[in-house]
Amino acid sequence: MNMKAYKHKVQYYETDQMKIVHHSNYIRWFEEARIDYMDQIGISYPAMEKEGILIPVLSVEAKYLRMLRFGDVAEIVLGIKEYNGIKLVIEYQVMNEKTGMIHCKGETAHCFLTEQGKPVSLKKNYPEYHKKFVQMAEDNMQSQTENE
């Protein structure tokens, strides 16, 4: 599947006293990009929530490599690093659209829960979602192999 990068124009309020993007914003952009990615593959957060599936964040990692500033356009590319039907790990690269340079790399880990907080297996209970996540994980691994 040909995925489009998520684009975010840096806003003034996202900068700090040093006039660079505050580190906390990258985490927000990860979420924006993740929701856009899921929409692109045909799995929307609202649709999953209507079915009683919640996708909490278990952990977040970010490695800041370069600074972005007000007016820059961040291009966020992501892919599924790991998926087993119960747990999902997504990796991110935040690039400057103008230069193509990577400014931040990150990763988020998630699980799938019922509204009562019990783990849910997409493989067992929601095979249509499971199939899409498996396909995207395979596509990401194939893409990484081709880029090596």
63-115 residue pLDDT tens? 999 999 999 999 999 999 999 999 999 999 999 999 999 999 999 999 999 99
| Element housing 114 (H / E) | strand 113-114
Mean pLDDT within 120-127: 96
Whether residue 142 is predicted with pLDDT greater than 90 in this model: the reply is no
Q: How far apart are CA 99 and CA 102, in angstroms?
A: 9
What domains can be seen in the chain, in order of their start residue? Answer: 6-147 (3.10.129.10)
Q: Residue for token digits 């899921």?
A: 38
CA distance 15 to 6: 20
- Locate the DSSP E strands across 12-111: 53-54, 57-64, 73-83, 87-96, 102-111
Round the average pLDDT of the chain to a whole number and report it.
Answer: 95
Q: H/E element holding 47?
A: helix 45-50
pLDDT given for residue 143 in this prediction: 77
- For CA atoms 88, 54, 14, 77, the dihedral sign is positive
C-alpha to C-alpha distance for 47 and 52, rounded to whole angstroms: 9
Q: Which residues are annotated as catalytic?
A: 16
